């Protein structure tokens, strides 16, 4: 099944166009490989990793959908392997990325 179609039918994205942009943006990994095309094939057991909404999500495909069904049906298609919000990590914003709370660059203190 095409990656963009899977992302849309599994309700990971709201529209197929958004799924295509996510896939073609080069910020998505399928089984550890960087993907830059929406027509990459997804299979049962594939691992998809992506960054959206300030979070990194890694999911494993458990089943391929036959249609874009209700959210309860879509939830059974993937298993969440890692989600940085589950690990207690804070969301990164451009102001926080790479800087401590005092505003200093933590790399300045490295030997």
Non-local CB neighbours of 74 within 8 Å, separated by 6+ positions = 9, 10, 11, 65, 68
Confidence of residue 97 (pLDDT cuts 50, 70, 90): very low
- Is a pLDDT exceeding 70 seen at residue 3? yes
CATH number of 3-85: 3.10.290.10
pLDDT of amino acid 19: 93
Distance CA 59, CA 74 (A): 13
Lowest mean pLDDT among 15-19, 60-64, 91-95: 91-95
Q: Mean pLDDT in the chain?
A: 82
pLDDT digits (tens, 9 = 90+) for 31-45: 999 999 999 999 999
């Amino acid at each position: 099944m095409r990656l963009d179609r899977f992302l849309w039918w599994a309700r990971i994205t709201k529209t197929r166009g958004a799924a295509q942009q996510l896939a073609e943006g080069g910020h998505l990994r399928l089984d550890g490989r960087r993907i830059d095309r929406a027509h990459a094939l997804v299979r049962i057991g594939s691992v998809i990793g992506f960054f959206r909404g300030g979070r990194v999500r890694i999911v494993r495909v458990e089943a391929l959908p036959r249609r874009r069904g209700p959210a309860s049906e879509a939830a059974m298609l993937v298993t969440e392997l890692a989600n940085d919000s589950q690990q207690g990590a804070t969301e990164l914003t451009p102001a926080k990325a790479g800087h401590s709370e005092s505003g200093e660059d933590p790399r300045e203190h490295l030997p």
